[in-house]
Amino acid sequence: MRRRTVTPGAGLEETLDTLAAATATRQEAPAAASPARAPRRERDALQTEFAFELPRGYVDDEGQVHRNGTMRLATARDELKPQIDLRVKENPAYLSVVLLAQVITQLGPVTDVHTGIVERMYATDVAFLQDFYRRINSEGHTHAAVTCPLCQGSFEVDLSGGRLGES
């Protein structure tokens, strides 16, 4: 494995782009020579986006409340990029704001989710999104096993949203 260094003039983004291009070029040649593979079955497809419903909701400049959104799986780049952000270096707690802004793909009709939007969310919603992020990226699903405190019955709930009592 070759060692790569980042010079003061080059950023992480350019280095990652160069590495991705080199890897893609190496993988294209063998893939072209291999015989055609059978198409993936539906159950083998990887789910990369997950819908969620915020507990309180994001209030935009016009006063509209947006509760439904989607979050995609994080890539290694998503987790590396905040490490060079000056706001994160000054305040490590800001890491989750930058990270969530990168992986939230939609919030109501808003498709350009940036750090300013995440900053203006209620703490309850940010905590929900942090847990949601952890759950989909480490466990691969939005379900949690719970136990009823009254009857001790075990069942599974979907944490991605839905109101209590709704199915």
For residue range 93-148, what is the model confidence (pLDDT) as tens digits?
999 999 999 999 999 999 999 999 999 999 999 999 999 999 999 876 566 677 88
SS3 51: strand
Res 167: pLDDT:
35
Integer Cα distance of 17 and 26 in angstroms: 14
Res 47: pLDDT:
87
pTM of the model: 0.60
Per the prediction, the chain carries an average pLDDT of 78
Integer Cα distance of 53 and 128 in angstroms: 9
Res 75: pLDDT:
94
Q: pLDDT band for position 14 (50/70/90)? A: low
Res 153: pLDDT:
83
State the angle between helix axes of 95-103 and 123-134 in degrees (0 to 180), rounded to the nearest 10.
70
Identify whether the C-beta of residue 144 lies closer than 8 Å to the C-beta of residue 154.
no
**Mean pLDDT to the nearest integer, 44-73:** 92
Res 123: pLDDT:
96
Q: Is the pLDDT of residue 89 over 80?
A: yes
Q: What is the percent of the chain with per-residue pLDDT over 70, rounded to a whole number?
A: 63
Q: Is the pLDDT of residue 165 over 60?
A: no
